[in-house]
Amino acid sequence: MATAADALIDPERAFLGCLLHLPATLARRVLAGMRADDLAGALAAPALQLVIELVAAGTAPAPVAVYAHAVATGRAAGEKRREWLSGWLIDTYRDAPPPALADHLKTVVLEAAWRRALLVHAHRIEQAIDTTDTAALRELADDGHAGAAELWSRYQAALGDSQSDISSALEVAA
């Protein structure tokens, strides 16, 4: 079972926790430019996908809504899986930092995704460097750069968004 300390050291979980507290309109703004595969966590990425789907349908991503959506779409099959998911969602919601940190956590998550993309690309090049002909190696170098460049653009956009003040929007929503 997750602990409160996990939320403090896991930016993906903290980001999801913030989202679970937001109304749909604010969550939609925070999620702009995000993809589920930006998260590396085994449950975080599928949970973010559920949140994205709910918000796209205009539903606030409250824990009960995420859980119900997972069950309705067959992504929480089996009693043990449903029990584990409900506990994880409750813990993530309870241990979340203030929702005003959602934009900042988005930038942290996107930066980590960009760094992972660079690392994967670097490993591919490293593995191919001694055994691949130069034309194929050049193509490999160019292919990976596009994905990292796209992530870099989304990260930079998020940095600009994080300068905005979500707390004033939360006060209006309350």
Q: 106-139, pLDDT tens digit by residue?
A: 999 999 999 999 998 888 889 888 888 888 888 8
| Segment 43-72 mean pLDDT | 97
Domain that holds residue 43: 4-173
Query: Residue 163: what pLDDT?
Result: 63
CATH code, 9: 1.10.860.10
Distances (CA, A) of 139 to 82, 115, 118, 145, 147: 44, 21, 16, 10, 13
Q: Are the C-beta atoms of residues 152 and 114 closer than 8 Å to each other? A: yes
**Sign of the Cα pseudo-torsion (85, 91, 94, 100, in order):** negative
Higher pLDDT residue, 123 or 22? 22
Out of 65-79, 95-109, 127-141, which region has the weakest mean confidence (pLDDT)? 127-141
Residue 146's closest CA among 109, 126, 118, 125?
A: 118
Query: Residue 58: what pLDDT?
Result: 98
Query: Residue 52: what pLDDT?
Result: 98
Number of domains in the chain: 1
Distances (CA, A) of 20 to 6, 84, 89, 174: 16, 17, 9, 15
pTM comes to: 0.83
